[in-house]
């Protein structure tokens, strides 16, 4: 995948409010919303509002303010959903599918936060 950001991708449309979303948390630079096709009882996506295709694109080009905001949003969602083991939560899985081998469907950086059940092995070994 090249790193030309597609301004018409589905998450860009969510950010432009062209399509609805179930917002969990919104900050100056980030948006967290429920995945439309959840793979676990809790399945939340966190995205930066800026036009970043994937994690390394984001880290290489975003401002420190955006990077801090994004990471704190991830943390706040984990806390808000009571997933954090330090607060007696049962844990979670944090995923960033990237590119072809990562099987990324939407070309706008997103972290999946999954919880509410045992997620099993990380990837199929076959």
111 neighbors 96 (Cβ within 8 angstroms): yes
Residue number, 15 or 78, with CB nearest to ligand AMP: 15
9 makes contact with ligand AMP (CB under 6 A)? no
Burial of residue 88, with CB atoms counted within 10 A of its CB: 0-12 exposed, 13-18 middle, 19 or more buried: exposed
In the bound complex, what is the minimum distance in angstroms from residue 15's beta carbon to ligand AMP?
Answer: 11
Site for ligand AMP in 65-124 (CB under 6 A): 97, 103-106
Helix, strand, coil percentages in the chain from 3-state DSSP, rounded to 5? 25, 20, 55
Q: Contact positions toward ligand AMP, by CB under 6 A?
A: 10, 19, 21, 35-37, 45, 97, 103-106
């Amino acid at each position: 995948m090249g790193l030309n950001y597609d301004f018409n991708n589905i998450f860009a449309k969510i950010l432009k409010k062209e399509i609805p979303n179930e917002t969990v948390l919104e900050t100056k630079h980030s948006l967290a919303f429920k995945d439309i096709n959840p793979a676990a009882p809790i399945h939340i996506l966190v995205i930066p509002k800026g036009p970043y295709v994937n994690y390394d694109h984001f880290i290489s080009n975003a401002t420190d303010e955006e990077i801090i905001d994004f990471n704190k949003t991830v943390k706040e969602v984990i806390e808000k959903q009571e997933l954090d083991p330090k607060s007696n939560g049962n844990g979670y899985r944090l995923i960033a599918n990237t590119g072809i081998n990562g099987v990324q469907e939407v070309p706008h950086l997103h972290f999946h936060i999954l919880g509410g059940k045992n997620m099993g092995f990380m990837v199929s070994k076959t």
